[in-house]
Structure 1
Amino acid sequence: MSQKSTSCQYIFSDVQQPNLPLINGKDVSCIFDGNQQVVAVNHVNFGIEEGKITAIIGESGSGKSTLLRLIYGLAEPATGEVRYRGWLVPTRKDKLIPGHDAMKLVSQGFDDLNQYAKVWDNVASQLPNTDLDRKRNKTQDVLAKLRIDHLAQKRVADLSGGEKQRVAICRALINDPEVLLMDEPFNQVDAAFRDDLQQDIQQIVLDTGLTVVLVSHDPAEVLAMADYLVVMKNGHIVDQGDPTDLYYRPQNPYTARLLAKSNVLTADQASDLGIESDGLVSIHQEAIQFKEVENGRFWVKESRFRGMFTEIILGNDKLDLHVVQFPAKTIKKNTRIDILVSSVHYFESKS
């Protein structure tokens, strides 16, 4: 890993704050001025631990990519501060070339790649020529770790999106950063190869102690590989914690919908299922079963074949429930049914 960085050389008045997570945000906001002022990040607090994979997840426009830029120092906080190892993260006003020295950012567009140079040259160019043997060995090693050493002599322009993503990650890792930041890293990776890339990144974290912070809108990605989740909506952090906890015990209905496509019901709708509640509840799709009953109080509204499973929408005049049926079966629309719910999550009442 690279030498531990401080902000002293950029922010002379800074004093290190002890006992903080590796990356710590306190009351952080970011505002974009234009025809209309946009609050992209709104007074958020967060902590990112060392040697872990942290995922920032949310819908488009939630502020997740802006938060990543704040962590790296590409954006200036309007309020609050971001600290790395207890030191302020320098921003554009502090550095001629923005971006924290201990971090590397892999963006969505592969802007840093030379499309008409070979893969080897794209990666090796990040190292100086003062030790050619080390440069050669280091380049070979990082290409092998990301399983693209067989592409070394190919032009980047001739690669698939997934292969380009691996080259971009190799370029970022070649100088042993302490933190790797990735903005939607799997967007251009085919589903068939996504798992392999996720496993490679997880293995690098285990082998080196690298800290990874990634932005995603896809729950399948983050639930599979993240150690910690930060859930954003409209510039706010609405939930954060262990992925399993947030999946089964979210604090916010938005988290339930985002991570599990959960059915969020009002107290009135829940009572129609025999569930008593003072506020909102969520029911995961896999927690709902049904059986055909001639005079059932509910009925099948829609059935959508999804391959291994069928997505079924059922309910009555008051509610729609999305259900996963596995293995996939055919059921006719308007079939009368009774509904069985195996588990319910209750949200705290705001009253």
Structure 2
Amino acid sequence: MIKTSLLKANAVSKLYPGERTTGVKNVTLDIKPGEITAVIGASGSGKSTLLKLFFGLISPDKGEIRFKGDRVWGPEEKLIPGHDEMKMVTQHTDDLNLFAKVWDNVATLLPNTDLKAKKEKTDNVLKQLNMTHLATRQVVDLSGGEKQRVAIARAMVTQPTVLLLDEPFNQVDTSFREALQQDIRQVVKDTGLTVVMVSHDPAEVLSMADELVVIKDGEILEKGQPRNLYKQPGHLYTAQLLANCNVLTSKQAKLLGVTSKKETIAIYTDYIDITKSWVGKAWEVKQVMFKGFFEELLVQQDNITVRALNKEQGKYKEGDKVNLKAWGYLEY
């Protein structure tokens, strides 16, 4: 079943004259309900501008933002900017009451007309985000990542239709980040919440998003399911955003067994097989970088440097001679 548009940008432009940051230009984008849409792009590409336009924090120069068919009002038309059925979480947590408890910070956004419902909703959102153990802690005593989780809980407790996340996991410790992402995915599945997030981390968008939108210089370059864009990115820009990749000329790529008539070849680090070389000219291991469950090798031949992923830790050391062969590649 094809989902209808919930939130839509219709030929929207917002430019910042005199600045290097261009904003967004002629962007048309449908946000489907009950899904996580991730917007990725280089710094200054217009990601955060698009999020602010959706929320109504800024007004477009051209075009319009529509929510459920109605135009989203900008700050010139609304006393308190921001759409009532949306909540936005940024990297900043300045609006938290540092000397109040986590539970009170979350509960304060709910009315006191029904105290039982207020308690149930607050307890429920803390449980959904696995934060019950933080309920009685003062915010001032929390880490930056824990404060970020409180900010997300505050946004979710009012049960918005759309949750907008601007680099939401930047300050969250790596050990908790994946769990928090899974929690949000589960909330989306259970409640039908619609999430639009901006991120620079490929791991976040590939594991969380239902739809991926790539933006460059204020314009949408391509969009699609994360798995499809990773395997077949239509642009080199997308490939470089989503993974570590080697960008070579077709002549250089021949050293990896690639024959192509295209000028530019991109090869993900995990698309390269490595074997030890006992005879003949080969690649030399210049650096071995420990990455946890794998290593990344920096290898060189004829002033050509390539990165390759190695899962057999300890097998290679600096100065070793190796053979490389690409089993997959992208052409541009």
- Same topology, TM > 0.5: yes
2:307 partner SS: strand
Q: 1:244 to 1:297 in 2, by over 3 A?
A: same
1:251 partner SS: coil
1:83 equivalenced with 2:66 (yes/no): yes
The answer to whether the 8 A contact 1:290-1:339 is kept is yes
| Aligned-residue offset at 1:172 | 0.9
Deviation per CA, 1:15-70, whole angstroms, max 9, x where unpaired?
xxxx9621222322221245x46422222222211100111122322221111111
The answer to whether the 8 A contact 1:231-1:255 is kept is yes
Quick check: 245-254 or 226-235, which moved more? 226-235
Deviation per CA, 1:290-328, whole angstroms, max 9, x where unpaired?
323321343333322223211112242253221000022
Measure the CA separation in 1 of the matches of 2:289 and 2:129: 38
- What residue is the counterpart of 2:328 in the other structure? 343
1:300 partner SS: strand
- What residue is the counterpart of 1:303 in the other structure? 288
Scaled by the length of structure 2, the TM-score of the pair is 0.92
Please tell me the residue identity of whatever aligns with 1:114.
N
Measure the CA separation in 1 of the matches of 2:261 and 2:283: 20
Deviation per CA, 1:175-207, whole angstroms, max 9, x where unpaired?
211000111111111101111111110111011
Please tell me the residue identity of whatever aligns with 1:214.
M
- What residue is the counterpart of 2:5 in the other structure? 21
1:275 equivalenced with 2:259 (yes/no): yes
- What residue is the counterpart of 2:49 in the other structure? 66
- What residue is the counterpart of 1:212 in the other structure? 195
Q: 1:64 to 1:267 in 2, by over 3 A?
A: same
Measure the CA separation in 2 of the matches of 1:295 and 1:188: 49
Q: 1:159 to 1:345 in 2, by over 3 A?
A: same
The answer to whether the 8 A contact 2:23-2:45 is kept is yes
- Runs of 4+, deviation exceeding 6 Å: none
Q: Which consecutive unaligned segments of at least 5 residues does structure 2 have?
A: none
Deviation per CA, 1:253-284, whole angstroms, max 9, x where unpaired?
11111111122222332244342222322211
Scaled by the length of structure 1, the TM-score of the pair is 0.87
Please tell me the residue identity of whatever aligns with 1:306.
K
- Choose which of 82, 88, 112 in structure 2 pairs with 1:105: 88
2:96 partner SS: coil
The answer to whether the 8 A contact 1:20-1:85 is kept is no
- What residue is the counterpart of 1:229 in the other structure? 212
Q: How does 1:141-290 map to 2 (within 5 A)?
A: 141-273=124-256, 274-290=258-274
- What residue is the counterpart of 2:309 in the other structure? 324
The answer to whether the 8 A contact 2:202-2:242 is kept is yes
Quick check: 54-63 or 325-334, which moved more? 325-334
The answer to whether the 8 A contact 2:97-2:105 is kept is yes
| Identical pairs, percent | 48
Measure the CA separation in 2 of the matches of 1:37 and 1:326: 42
- What residue is the counterpart of 1:93 in the other structure? 76
The answer to whether the 8 A contact 1:20-1:86 is kept is no
Please tell me the residue identity of whatever aligns with 1:30.
K
| Aligned-residue offset at 1:286 | 0.8
